[in-house]
Amino acid sequence: MAGTVTEKILAEHLMDGALEQGTEIALRIDQTLTQDATGTMAYLEFEAIGIPRVKTELSVCYVDHNLVQSDFKNADDHRFLQSVARRFGLYFSPPGNGISHQVHLERFGVPGKTLLGSDSHTPTGGGLGMLAIGAGGLDVAMAMAGKPFYLIMPKVYGIRLTGRLNPWVSARDVLLEILRRLSVKGGVGYVMEYFGPGVAGLSVTDRACITNFGAELGATTSVFPSDENTRRFLAAQGREEQWRELVADPDASYDEVMELDLSTLEPLIACPSSPDNVVPVSEVAGRPVAQVLIGSCTNSSIRDLTVVAKTLEKHDISLDVSFEINPGSRQVLENITARGDLLTLIHAGARVHQAGCLGCIGMGQAPPTEGISLRTFPRNFPGRSGTAGDHVYLCSPEVAVASAIKGVITDPRELGEYPEFTWPETLLPGDARIEKPWPGDSGIEILRGPNIAPFPDFEPLPETWKGKVMLKLADNITTDHIMPAGARILPLRSNIPAISEYVFHQVNQNFAREMKEAALEGVSGMVVGGENYGQGSSREHAALAPRYLGVRVKLVKSFARIHKANLINFGILPLTFADPADYERLEQGAEVVIPGIRDALLGGVDRVTVEMDGAAIEAVIDLSRRHREILAAGGLLNWARNG
């Protein structure tokens, strides 16, 4: 049967189920990655599962998010993660070594393999022809324990690329254009698969930029074929023997197809405060810029920083702009240093930081009050930068550097000749600090700091659920709204009681207190939301911490994939409105009852009635048999323990 790249990889990894859309499939996971902000919890969960050593082909534990060490907490977590990696047989990539996705692409990714990562930008690996999927930490812990990853069989959205990018237009603009067309929920339920003659003109890091940023479409993942460019990239990494060709059959069929002629694209920019708020740069040109940040897992490759440096050989940075470089990895840093480009960046006035996520997750680099910040990052959700009422725009390194030079948002085509980049045939690997897995039975002790709190216990679902609507929210609520990040809150990721104080902080600063008061009266919580609820990050804390506070039901118009899976894992019932118009009828503060919910779940029923003050609303239960059992048990760990 003719197949897409997606179908081929899925078929090679299918452990259970059939490749039929909308049904649950179980996949074998070859590789996993974790980062520190989600990793501490993932390894506590892995320990709770009780397996002595990871069972994957390869698992890597990265430290890239919580780099600011303003007290002992982050440093303790780094040490905890290193000891965990040694104990359980993982590779360890320490702080300063780079962003998980960039390093994984360089050192570990292999075409045709499956990768599950506790970070929503794991699809970066799709640039190498991997099926790379973001998930909650508990799902990654299960995969490390050798269990399958369960997924609703996605549809395949074929994006047929033709033509070639013009000077000063780059991979970032490809996805900005797709976001402009499809919006932040346009990819939900799909794998975005790229094909067509335009693919050959894109390097592996261009492709990885596109598959990475594709997370903002809500897609399950994105994937490119593995071809001659892929082989050349792996050869430069000293890993050519890991290459295999993987392309869609010529008569493969896609569920949807979008045509995109790369030569018609112009420089684009996402305006505050959503990645799909996209316009041509020319439309907002001239707005003064206070800060320009180049980096993140989307745009911090050797290509990106070289193009920026070469542009700066002929221009100076405006004195009114704080211009900062966050290299993607030690490999990037070593190679731009060896080639002299780092010196150009420093000369031009760049503030050069260690390799890592940094300001992308609000770990420093907050912009000034009312100042426009231009970032080559994937997300500009409100307040994520650390400054309330921020004005964050997302753009390519080309637009970023042009704007840093002029001090105002600038179309880079004004700068004249484009510094074309060609990939070198060999690279400095930059991997001297990556620790290889230690042998089994190393007897190493796991080093736990005082901030690591034990995993909370959760009750099974009652027969009839009674509660109160504690919060009613609009469309496109992000996990940054539900469980904010930033330098103050991220260090609490391994301490659920402490981090739960910040649940919904951006929306209602009293939420945790109100939940605790309700709990004292025996009242549990429902949260009501609109479309695409829980988009963005994979952080399971956005489910775990609300559950800890007593939220048991979420009733919304539609869910983002990873967040829905996390809600199930921690025993929060995800329901959708049978009639979206009923959203208007459910007010904050309403008392609600779902009679017989446990029986309904276990009986496979797909509708339940939510009763409220003399009225009733129909809600849809869109869950597999496994999901239903997990929810009835009160969460995945309870379910796994019950055997």
Looking at the Cβ atoms of 103 and 165, the one nearer to ligand SF4 is 103
Q: How far is the CB of 119 from ligand SF4 (least distance, A)?
A: 5
| Residue 107 to residue 55: CA distance in whole angstroms | 20
3-class DSSP assignment, residue 22: coil
CB 323 within 8 A of CB 351: yes
Q: How far is the CB of 23 from ligand MIC (least distance, A)?
A: 26
3-class DSSP assignment, residue 14: strand
Task: Tell the residue number behind the tokens 């179908």, with chain if given.
Answer: 7
Looking at the Cβ atoms of 209 and 549, the one nearer to ligand SF4 is 209
Q: Does 222 bind ligand MIC (CB under 6 A)?
A: no
3-class DSSP assignment, residue 203: coil
Q: Which does 296 bind (CB under 5 to 8 A by kind): ligand SF4, ligand MIC, none?
A: ligand SF4
Mark residues 64-93: x for contact with ligand SF4 by CB under 6 A, - for none: -x----------------------------
| Residue 572 to residue 108: CA distance in whole angstroms | 35
Going 114 to 117 to 123 to 128, the CA torsion angle's sign is: negative
Pair of tokens at residue 370 = 């009312």
Mark residues 104-123: x for contact with ligand SF4 by CB under 6 A, - for none: ---------------x-x--
Q: Which stretch binds ligand SF4 (CB under 6 A): 19-27, 181-189, 354-362, 616-624?
A: 354-362
Going 473 to 478 to 480 to 483, the CA torsion angle's sign is: positive
| Residue 309 to residue 313: CA distance in whole angstroms | 6
> Is 411 one of the catalytic residues?
no
Which of 27, 37, 269, 482 binds ligand MIC (CB under 6 A)? It is 37
Q: How far is the CB of 458 from ligand SF4 (least distance, A)?
A: 28
Contact partners, residue 355, CB within 8 Å, separation at least 6: 64, 96, 97, 98, 99, 102, 300, 326, 327, 328, 329, 330, 332, 333
Q: Does 296 bind ligand SF4 (CB under 6 A)?
A: yes
Looking at the Cβ atoms of 4 and 296, the one nearer to ligand SF4 is 296
Residue type present at position 360: C
Which one of 76, 77, 119, 227 is the catalytic residue? Answer: 119
3-class DSSP assignment, residue 619: strand
Looking at the Cβ atoms of 296 and 335, the one nearer to ligand SF4 is 296
> Is 538 one of the catalytic residues?
no
> Is 160 one of the catalytic residues?
no
Q: Does 77 bind ligand MIC (CB under 6 A)?
A: no
| Strands, sheet with 268-270, edge to edge from the N-terminal-most edge strand | 278-280, 268-270, 391-394, 372-375, 291-294, 322-325, 351-352
> Is 379 one of the catalytic residues?
yes
Q: How far is the CB of 99 from ligand SF4 (least distance, A)?
A: 5
The three-point CA angle 522-525-526 to 5° equals 150
Q: How far is the CB of 360 from ligand SF4 (least distance, A)?
A: 3
Which one of 78, 104, 539, 627 is the catalytic residue? Answer: 539
Q: How far is the CB of 214 from ligand MIC (least distance, A)?
A: 13
Q: Which stretch binds ligand MIC (CB under 6 A): 105-113, 266-274, 407-415, 530-538?
A: 530-538
| Residue 378 to residue 216: CA distance in whole angstroms | 7
Q: Does 270 bind ligand MIC (CB under 6 A)?
A: no
Q: Which stretch binds ligand MIC (CB under 6 A): 88-96, 191-199, 341-349, 537-545?
A: 537-545
Q: Which stretch binds ligand MIC (CB under 6 A): 88-96, 117-125, 196-204, 283-291?
A: 117-125
Q: Which does 38 bind (CB under 5 to 8 A by kind): ligand MIC, ligand SF4, none?
A: ligand MIC
Number of helical H runs and strand E runs in the chain: 22, 26
Q: Does 627 bind ligand MIC (CB under 6 A)?
A: no
Q: Does 38 bind ligand MIC (CB under 6 A)?
A: yes
Q: Does 292 bind ligand SF4 (CB under 6 A)?
A: no
| Residue 253 to residue 236: CA distance in whole angstroms | 33
The three-point CA angle 502-503-507 to 5° equals 100
For residue 577, the surrounding DSSP H or E stretch is strand 573-577
Q: Which stretch binds ligand MIC (CB under 6 A): 2-10, 341-349, 520-528, 532-540?
A: 532-540
Backbone angles phi, psi at 99, to 5 degrees: -75, 135
Q: How far is the CB of 101 from ligand SF4 (least distance, A)?
A: 6
Q: Which does 552 bind (CB under 5 to 8 A by kind): ligand SF4, ligand MIC, none?
A: none
**Site residue total, ligand MIC (CB under 6 A):** 14
Q: Which does 99 bind (CB under 5 to 8 A by kind): ligand MIC, ligand SF4, none?
A: ligand SF4
Looking at the Cβ atoms of 360 and 640, the one nearer to ligand SF4 is 360
Query: For residue 118, which of 136, 138, 100, 143 has the smallest C-alpha distance?
Result: 136
Q: Does 357 bind ligand SF4 (CB under 6 A)?
A: yes
Q: How many angstroms from the chain centroid is the CA of residue 412?
A: 29
Binders of ligand SF4 among residues 358 to 417 (CB under 6 A) are: 360-361, 377-378
CA distances 164 to 247, 260, 261, 302, 417, Å, are 20, 10, 8, 20, 17
453: exposed, middle or buried (Cβ count in 10 Å: 0-12, 13-18, 19+):
middle
> Is 119 one of the catalytic residues?
yes
| CB environment 244-256: b (16+ within 10 A), e (fewer) | eebbbeeebebee
Q: Does 135 bind ligand MIC (CB under 6 A)?
A: no
Q: How far is the CB of 6 from ligand MIC (least distance, A)?
A: 21
CB 329 within 8 A of CB 102: yes
> Is 480 one of the catalytic residues?
no
Which one of 13, 53, 65, 547 is the catalytic residue? Answer: 65
Q: What is the DSSP string of 213-249?
A: HGGGGTBSEEE--B-HHHHHHHHHTT-GGG---B---
Q: How far is the CB of 210 from ligand MIC (least distance, A)?
A: 17
The residues with which 468 forms a beta bridge, in sequence order, are 525, 591
Which one of 13, 36, 59, 64 is the catalytic residue? Answer: 64
Q: Which does 504 bind (CB under 5 to 8 A by kind): ligand MIC, ligand SF4, none?
A: none
Interface with ligand SF4 (CB under 6 A):
65, 99, 119, 121, 296-297, 357, 360-361, 377-378
Which residues of the shown chain bind ligand MIC in the complex (CB under 6 A)?
37-38, 65, 119-121, 134, 361, 379, 485, 536-539
Active-site positions read 64-65, 119, 379, 537, 539
